[in-house]
Amino acid sequence: MKPARVLVTGIATAAGLALLAYLSAVPLPYHADAAAGLRLSWSARPERIEVCRAVSAEEQARREEHMRQRVECEGSFATYTLRVELDDRVVGETLVRGGGLRHDRPLYLLRDYAIPSGMHRVRVALTRRETTDNDAAAFAKAAVPEADTGLFAGRAQREVTERARRARAAIPARLELDTALAFAPGRVALVTFNAERRRLELHAEGERR
């Protein structure tokens, strides 16, 4: 091979390899320099919207012993409206419902909003769309008195306790966060739902929950 051809081949090979190295790490733009972000992320149980009725003593007597619930409810899970305002301007208003094809799974929420950096007033509201005055606990009080014995003794109380637990685990009918925050460029402020305190909380500047 002639020296000139060796040189050309060497240069071409080096250029090809340099191109390969460049293409393997091209600085690809991602987010605007001055941009900040607001992220909403939480999961929680939606409320059950139910129509309840107290089961009469006669009806209970016709059932097997283990089937004798004092209150029977039918219904579906609540849906919610999520509204996000920035400086009194609505930046997002969406319907939020439980996960899964039948929307009977917990509600998983993940929304990202691009926000110019700087001081902003942020309002986030999650509001139940359905109205209901069915209170299973109230029906329970009105139901037939405790008649269970033996293995099923105390069932009425357990029913009440379980309903109360479910109600506590569900999202309140309305959640709201209204605050002012200085959004740092390149940073994301995170809004989460604190299930114990049953309220929305803001985490900013990389602060972790």
Partner 1 sequence: MRRLRRLLRPLLTGLDGLLTRLYGWEGNPIHQTGTVAVAMLLLLLGTGLYLVLFYRVGSPAASVARLAADPWLGSWLRTLHRYGSDLFIIAAVLHALRIFVQDRSWGPRTLAWVSGLFLFGAGLICAWTGYVMAWDSFGERLALEGGRLLDALPILSEPVSRSFAGDGPVPSAFFFVNLFVHIALPLGLGAGLWLHVSRLARPVLLPPRRLMWGMIAALTVVSVLLPATLGPAANPLSLAPATPTDLVAAWWLPFSERLPAGLAWGLGLGGALLALLVPRLTRRRREAAWAPSTVDPRLCTGCNQCPQDCPWEAIRMVAREDGRPTLVAQVNPARCVSCGICAGSCAPMGVGPPERSGRDQLTRLRSGELPALRAAGALPIIAVCCAKAPAAHLQALGARGAHIHQVPCVGNLHSSVIELFIRNGAPGVMVGGCPPRDCVGREGPKWLRERLFNDREAELQPRVDRRRVRLLTLAPGDLTGALAAFEQFAAEVAGLAAPESEPEAEPDTVCDPVPLEEAAT
Which chain residues interact with partner 1 by CB under 8 A? 8-9, 12-13, 17-18, 20-21, 23-33, 35-37, 39, 41-43, 99-101, 105-106, 108, 110, 186-188, 190, 192, 203, 206, 208-209
How far apart are CB 172 and partner 1 at their closest, in Å?
A: 19
Q: Which is nearer to partner 1, 18 or 138 (CB)?
A: 18
How far apart are CB 103 and partner 1 at their closest, in Å?
A: 9
What's CA 177's distance to the chain center, in Å?
A: 15
How far apart are CB 189 and partner 1 at their closest, in Å?
A: 8
Q: Which is nearer to partner 1, 29 or 145 (CB)?
A: 29
Scored b (16 or more CB within 10 A) or e, 68-98 reads: bbbbeeeeebbbbebbbbbeeeeeeeeebbb
Count of other CB atoms within 10 angstroms of residue 47: 22
- Tokens at 114, concatenated: 């691009």
Q: Which is nearer to partner 1, 16 or 154 (CB)?
A: 16
Q: Which is nearer to partner 1, 54 or 190 (CB)?
A: 190
Instruction: Quickly tell me which residue has 């020296």 as its tokens.
Output: 3
How far apart are CB 1 and partner 1 at their closest, in Å?
A: 8
How far apart are CB 80 and partner 1 at their closest, in Å?
A: 16
Q: Which is nearer to partner 1, 14 or 142 (CB)?
A: 14
Residues paired with 128 in a beta bridge? 80
Ramachandran class of 186: left when φ > 0, alpha when ψ lies in -120 to 50, beta otherwise: left
SS3 (DSSP) at 5: helix
Which amino acid, residue 155?
A: R
- How many Å apart are CA 50 and CA 75, to the nearest integer? 4
